[in-house]
Amino acid sequence: MVEAQEDFVQKRETIIIKGNEAAAYAAKSARVQVISAYPITPQTTVVEKLSEFVDNGEMPGTQYIKVESEHSVFASVIGASKAGTRTFTATSGQGIFYAHEMIHWAAGARLPIVVAIASRGPAPPWNIWADFTDVLSQRDTGWMSAFCATHQEIYDEILMSYKVCEDHDILLPKFVAYGGFILSHTSKPVIIEDQDLVDSFLPSLPSEEGWPHIWMDPKRPMMFGNLIMPSSFYLEFRLKIQNAFIRVKEKIKKVTKEFEKIFGRNYGNGLVQEYKMNNVDVGVIIYGDLALQMEQAVDELRDQGYKVGMVKLRHFRPFPTEDIIEVAKKVKLLGVIDRATAFGSQTGGPVSCEVKTALHETQETAKVLPIINGLGGREVTLEQQKNQLKALIKFNETGEIPKDTIHGTLWDGLLEVE
């Protein structure tokens, strides 16, 4: 064990780092107490960077646990969190699927664990590149999930997440997802905030008493993970998780506002971030790294006189139903762009399904065109995104269904080999 340097204090600085390192820096800034690590591409460099921090004595008091699988990664952070510590880990794709059982355990135990996900496509065919199917397939586990579009957002979102998750009225775990390689392995300037400022923003680390609902203390014995008979309160505990998800929307909005006040960076209302959504005919809902490039596509088409705008979806769980209904009132046609799949669902795209569900009972709402693109890290160029917007405009004006619309969903960028 390396002696911790008690005098190490992070000062505000702008450094050029990879997305994964931004996640590691966020964990350091949040003073996480327990990190569990198992490598998986493209997440590996998150825990590698953290091991460096711990080894250099830059994270005094942090326990770094090396385990043998993702299942154990989650099992160990669950144990550490139950004991009343702030915990962190990171994983990807197949790792999430392997840990799926423990993911349910964490949510059922209402543990405020934050996990970074460098998203990658599920196998087979074997794939390690950006695709959000991994995190979106955890839809019903009781974990919150957020998407990041920039390197800075990874750092910021992880900090905000601890504040949201650890609220005693919330107590839910959260995934913070970003596209594998596209964000995880590219370098950009990221502002690492002053430690004192981060400390003042975040709730204080849990006291020795632990969380209010779960703790480990031989002097105050308690038993958890109990069996509940069908005639007892199982239904009711599930209702309480759903209620926490209703409450958390306001909490996210509040924390996002507070974050902007302290650190000066705006993320919309926290759940969604609108971009040029005034005076629009056609809008798109998009999430993850493609949202950043889409801003540029919107800018260029706006310059050409097209009335287009976009909404960056920041949270998938809780799903911002109310905000989506409001957005849909502003436009005639809404394109919903997924970089993920939900096989057998109405549209084939997880987010477009949610949007359609949200708008189902709304009068005078926009028509929805589901779009799926960029699966398995397939490059989506600026030109392609501009063409998507143009196809939406044409569809809105003339009713011409875009090419490659298959069973009502536009599969954009299908290969044509000559």
Residues that bind another protein (CB under 8 A): 108-110, 168, 171, 209-215, 219-224, 226, 228, 233, 236-237, 239-240, 243-244, 246-247
Q: Which is nearer to another protein, 251 or 339 (CB)?
A: 251
**86 vs 168, 212, 255, CA distance in Å?**
14, 14, 18
Residue type, 178: Y
Measured distance CA(110)–CA(170) in Å, rounded: 8
Closest CB 246 distance from another protein, rounded Å: 6
**182 vs 122, 158, 179, 285, CA distance in Å?**
17, 18, 6, 20
How many Cα atoms are found within 13 Å in the side-chain-facing hemisphere of 395? 23
Tell me the angle at which helices 19-29 and 44-55 cross, rounded to the nearest 10 degrees: 40
Closest CB 181 distance from another protein, rounded Å: 37
Q: Which is nearer to another protein, 85 or 127 (CB)?
A: 85
Closest CB 270 distance from another protein, rounded Å: 18
Closest CB 230 distance from another protein, rounded Å: 14
Question: Residues near 240 by Cβ (< 8 Å), separated by ≥ 6?
Answer: none
Measured distance CA(394)–CA(400) in Å, rounded: 7
Hey, what's the torsion of the CAs at 356, 359, 365, 371, to 10 degrees?
-20
Tell me the angle at which helices 321-330 and 350-359 cross, rounded to the nearest 10 degrees: 80
Closest CB 354 distance from another protein, rounded Å: 21
> Please, are residues 175 and 161 in contact by the beta-carbon 8 Å criterion?
no
Q: Which is nearer to another protein, 53 or 211 (CB)?
A: 211
Q: Which is nearer to another protein, 56 or 242 (CB)?
A: 242
Closest CB 115 distance from another protein, rounded Å: 19
Closest CB 131 distance from another protein, rounded Å: 33
Q: What is the DSSP string of 366-399?
A: -EEEEEE--GGG----HHHHHHHHHHHHHHHHH-
Q: Which is nearer to another protein, 220 or 407 (CB)?
A: 220
Q: Which is nearer to another protein, 65 or 205 (CB)?
A: 205
Q: Which is nearer to another protein, 215 or 411 (CB)?
A: 215
Closest CB 236 distance from another protein, rounded Å: 4
Question: Residues near 208 by Cβ (< 8 Å), separated by ≥ 6?
Answer: 84, 217
Measured distance CA(47)–CA(139) in Å, rounded: 25
Q: Which is nearer to another protein, 189 or 225 (CB)?
A: 225
Structure tokens at 47: 């825990």
